[in-house]
Structure formats: C-alpha cells, structure tokens
Amino acid sequence: MTALLQTIDLNKRFGGLRVTNNVNFELDEGEVHCLIGPNGAGKSTLFRLFLGEHSPSSGRILYAGEDITHLKPFQRIRKGISVKFQVPGIFAALSVRQNLTIALQHHLEGASLDEEIARLLEFLRLTASADMQAASLSHGQKQWLEIGMAISLKPRLLLLDEPTAGMSPDETYETGEMVRALNADGVTVLAVEHDMAFVRQIAQRVTVLHFGQIFAQGTVAEITANDAVAEIYFGHVDHD
C-alpha cells in the first residue's frame, strides 16, 4: 500500500541548527496518527515542511506517491492537505458565521452555502455562537473555529498542531470526538498533541520526535509503556 504521506531522509537546518534530522516517516491513508515529543523537538517545523511553508534543506516529501517537495502551499492545499497551525488563523473581528462563510465559499459541492454552514456549525458545537464575534469566543471555541476553517477545505489529509492546547477536559474530549467523526468519514489525520488522554482517544499510531529525529513509533499502548520515551519527557521512568 502506498503511504498517503511519506518523507525520505528529510532534513531542515536553520543556520547551524538541525531541526529535522533525516526523518523517514510514513502516514497510512485512513489512520489517525499522533506526533508527540518535547518542546523544540521539531514537530511544528515538520508541519511547515508538509504544507510547504518551509522548503527542506535536503530530502523529499511524497503525497499519495507523488513528489510534492517543490510544490507551493496553495498547490498542496488543492491536493487535499489542510493544516490547523498552533498560531490562530481566524478573523477575530468577524463573526463565527462570517469566518466560515469566507472559508467555505470556494469549496461548495452541491449543498447551499447556508446548509453547509449550518452543518459545520453543528459539527463544531458552535451553533449557539454563530453570530458572536470570533474574538469573544472562549479559547476552546476559537480552536474549534480553526478546525472548521481547516475542514471546510474538505481535506484528504488534516494536520492539527496542538488542537487541544488550553482546552478544558470536556472541550478536549469533544475535540477528540470531532477527529474520530472526521476519520470515520475518510479523513486521514496527523495531530501534534501533548495530552495523552486525547492521544489515547483518537490515535491508532504514535510517533515520538526527539531532537528532530524519530525516536519511537508504535501503538498508544506501546508508546506509553516505553521507558525510553518516559525518560525523554521526565528524565526518569515512573512506574505506578
């Protein structure tokens, strides 16, 4: 089977700093995969390489078997790659509905714009907040709106960089249910995440990144039982 996303000896240097170090990564079509690792491990840089906001120092990126290493972000978005970055990308002065209208208007298939917005608002648990200014949403609701902007592009591959940062446990759980529903609809998801309860809720596989390298890979159970992974997070192994 061809991987949906594959990197081959991928390297990214900033000056003398090697942020991505010979990464050979494969994401299968249809899976939910979490990327974890300490701060500064290179997770967000990898996402920028996947979208084409950074070009690699060396190595290649394949998408559905096609070499996309030199494609521009808009060309990759057209092929079905969509990203929710750590840094907010919503229009704070506009309402939730206006934000989604902007995101959706070029990507309608069949359903009318109003129907599509209503469906998306419900999916995002934002129906009651549709006419609120985005700036006045709670932190978690802003993240949901961002996920809405990303999925309005009808992606085949959705990349989520810390989607639950700053969320309450309830909001985090709802976000996990959204990811599972998207995945059941056929969307392949790669998420950077710190919350292991969320990882357990959504992920079929986990990759641990450390100093820009793949440090470990496996199921959630394998990764949580891996003493070397606990070491890089806590500096010690804690069996309880």
Query: Looking at 9, 14, 55, 231, which residue binds ligand ADP (CB under 6 A)?
Result: 14
Measured from the CB atom, the residue of 30 and 166 that comes closer to ligand ADP is: 166
Shortest separation between residue 20's beta carbon and ligand ADP, angstroms: 8
How many Cβ atoms from other residues are within 10 Å of residue 213's Cβ? 16
**Using CB atoms, what's the residue nearest to Mg ion?**
44
**What type of residue sits at position 27?**
L
Told to check if 112 binds ligand ADP by CB under 6 A, we report no
Contacting residues for 62 by C-beta, under 8 A, at least 6 apart: 3, 5, 6, 7, 8, 68
Site string for Mg ion, 69-108 (x = CB under 5 A): ----------------------------------------
Long-range contact set of residues 213-222: C-beta below 8 Å, sequence gap at least 24:
213/21, 213/22, 213/23, 214/23, 214/24, 214/25, 215/37, 220/34, 220/196
Q: What radius of gyration do the chain's Cα atoms show?
A: 18
Binding at 69: pick from Mg ion, ligand ADP, none (beta carbon under 5-8 Å per type): none
Interface segment toward Mg ion; rule CB under 5 A; list 1-9, 35-43, 57-65, 163-171 = 35-43
Burial of 227 (0-12, 13-18, 19+ CB in 10 A): exposed
Shortest separation between residue 19's beta carbon and ligand ADP, angstroms: 4
Measured from the CB atom, the residue of 104 and 208 that comes closer to ligand ADP is: 208
Measured from the CB atom, the residue of 117 and 206 that comes closer to Mg ion is: 206
- Interface of this chain with ligand ADP, residues 30 to 49, rule: CB under 6 A: 37, 39-45
How far apart (Å, rounded) are the C-alpha atoms in residues 73 and 79? 10
Shortest separation between residue 120's beta carbon and ligand ADP, angstroms: 28
Work out whether the CA dihedral 116, 119, 123, 126 comes out positive or negative.
Answer: positive
Told to check if 19 binds ligand ADP by CB under 6 A, we report yes
Bridge partners (DSSP) of residue 82 are 158
Told to check if 44 binds Mg ion by CB under 5 A, we report yes
Interface segment toward Mg ion; rule CB under 5 A; list 11-19, 36-44, 142-150, 203-211 = 36-44
Shortest separation between residue 231's beta carbon and Mg ion, angstroms: 21
- Interface of this chain with ligand ADP, residues 159 to 188, rule: CB under 6 A: none
Contact 34, 81 (CB under 8 A): no
How far apart (Å, rounded) are the C-alpha atoms in residues 30 and 28? 6
# residues contacting ligand ADP (CB under 6 A)? 11
| Residues contributing to the site for ligand ADP (CB under 6 A) | 14, 17, 19, 37, 39-45
